[in-house]
Amino acid sequence: MNYTKLQELLINFIRKNAKDKNLILGLSGGIDSAVVACLCKQAIKDKLYVLLMPTKYSKKDNLNDAIMLCNTLNIKYKIIYIDSILENFELLCEKPDKLRKGNLAARIRMSLLYDYSALKNALVVGTSNKSELMLGYGTIYGDLACAFNPLATLYKSEIFEFAKFLNLHENFIKKPPSADLWPNQSDEDDLGYTYKELDSVLKAIENNQILENFDEKLKRNVLERMQNNTFKRKLPTTLENFDDLD
């Protein structure tokens, strides 16, 4: 892949969508949000804001890496610990398991991002990659919500190579992918396979290739996730054909 051309295309894409507004995004300390922050900084300079929103479950290394990136790129940031909000949400829910708690955390973070977007006259920038979007690996109205998403056409395995091209610190590239929603949470443990394995199937599906050569369990995992999470990739269903009421 021509990463020089990709960088140019994404910077222009960000500028086009930002127009005269500021931009804001959630910086987790992971590779995806780090790449987006880097591109947004290149595209709009000082009109970028980021929120760092850890919980007691978040790894300190992720917070430290996020702060390091902000200082390195001179990005304006604010740290908001969301534990008190999350704990109150959990009290109102009936015995939430770790997945539901994770969804609550993701939606709290997005609520804060959209509140600050109003405060700063800013658009919320998405940080989900193509692999996550195709698999539905994300929280609807949580981390999947945004005004526009620069990474939506890039597979996770491509993000790692792109991050190297952008000279991001090796901390972002070497750490295991994680949404950091509960202790020791790992994307690839949740998904059951590495992103490299998952992306090989996703690319074959996108290119309408025959899937018979893939491991049956891997193939079934991908197809079931895509099918079960179709609703996350669609706008809400609405009633049509009002003429029938006449």
- The annotated binding site for deamido-NAD(+) is made up of 107
Annotated binding site for Mg(2+): 32, 132
What is the C-alpha to C-alpha distance for residues 19 and 15, in angstroms, rounded to an integer? Answer: 6
For the chain, the C-alpha Rg in angstroms (whole number) is 19
What is the C-alpha to C-alpha distance for residues 51 and 28, in angstroms, rounded to an integer? Answer: 9
3-state secondary structure of 203: helix
Q: What is the residue type of 87? A: E
* Residue showing tokens 């197809």: 223
Q: Which of 88, 85, 79, 89 is nearest to 54 (CA)?
A: 79
Beta-bridge partners for 123: 23
What is the C-alpha to C-alpha distance for residues 147 and 156, in angstroms, rounded to an integer? Answer: 21
Q: Which of 100, 92, 145, 90 is nearest to 123 (CA)?
A: 145
- Residue 124: how many other CB atoms lie within 10 Å: 19
Annotated binding site for ATP: 26-33, 127, 156, 178
What is the C-alpha to C-alpha distance for residues 131 and 8, in angstroms, rounded to an integer? Answer: 22
Q: Which residues lie below 8 Å from residue 117, measured CB to CB, with a gap of 6+?
A: 24, 123, 124
Annotated binding site: 26-33, 107, 127, 132, 156, 178
